[in-house]
Amino acid sequence: MRKLKALVFDIGDTIYPSSSIRLEALKEVMRKYGLPDSFLEKYLEVESRIHATEVSDENTLQRTIQKALDLLNIEMDSKEVAWNVRRTHWRKTKEFFTETWLGKEFQKVVNFLKKQGYKTAILSDNAIINKVWYIGLWKELHLEFDAFVVSEEVQANKPSEKMFGTIIELLRVNSGEAVYFGNDLERDAAALDYGWRFVWVYGFMNAKPEEFSGEKIEFITLENIRRYLEGIKECD
């Protein structure tokens, strides 16, 4: 096994609970516009289909909202609703990283890894508009990453080898020198197929650790990362 040089992180439900925050944002905007509870059900149905077949872009959220509105025969400005959902999601995401223990722990992890000489990166099925916002947040929090790749840039979602290969090239390491931390045992664990290490982060998934026999941690915390790196050194 090659010496570990790079730690790469998924975003949603790995470093923060994006699914629950997204639902909170949707519900807040639904109340603002007086949308019925059935809208949430239709939205989630449409979102699931789109996520399975399309690469996210700036207009994916609006298209999802528009289709959900159409299914309920509701006439409303989907572009305006989408912007409010996105803005609310961003606000709540920033609150997580600046006000919660786990959000502050992730900041400690990134700074610790940089001091230890490891390369760090973000690899996410996401739109470029969100990447730009995250970069602004990382800058505000004084976090530095060596690479950041989202699916819209490469026009492929995980588990595509194109996603993993692109970040490897940017980091200038071999696949065996990288570990991917992710929550999805299909899309993210595909890293193993490409010669990476993989660590399942299950804490935000309401999952049980015994569901996966490989390496796993509950949350991205400084203690968990230190313990993982110590274990790697012992194995190597």
User: Mind listing the pLDDT tens digit for each residue in 173-188?
Assistant: 999 999 999 999 999 9
**Contacts by 169-174, CB closer than 8 A, 24 or more apart:** 170/121, 170/146, 171/5, 171/6, 171/8, 171/119, 171/121, 171/146, 171/147, 173/5, 173/6, 173/119, 174/2
Distances (CA, A) of 211 to 12, 19, 148, 185, 202: 20, 20, 29, 10, 10
Report how many domains make up the chain: 2
**Within this chain, do residues 157 and 214 fall inside the same structural domain, yes or no?**
yes
User: Same domain for 73 and 188?
Assistant: no
Note whether 185 and 71 are same-domain residues: no
Percent of the chain clearing pLDDT 90 (strictly above): 94
Domain that holds residue 228: 6-17+100-235
Please list the ranges in the chain whose pLDDT falls under 70: 1, 234-236
Q: Give per-residue pLDDT as tens, 112-161.
A: 999 999 999 999 999 999 999 999 999 999 999 999 999 999 999 999 99
Judgement on whether residues 49 and 162 belong to the same structural domain of the protein: no
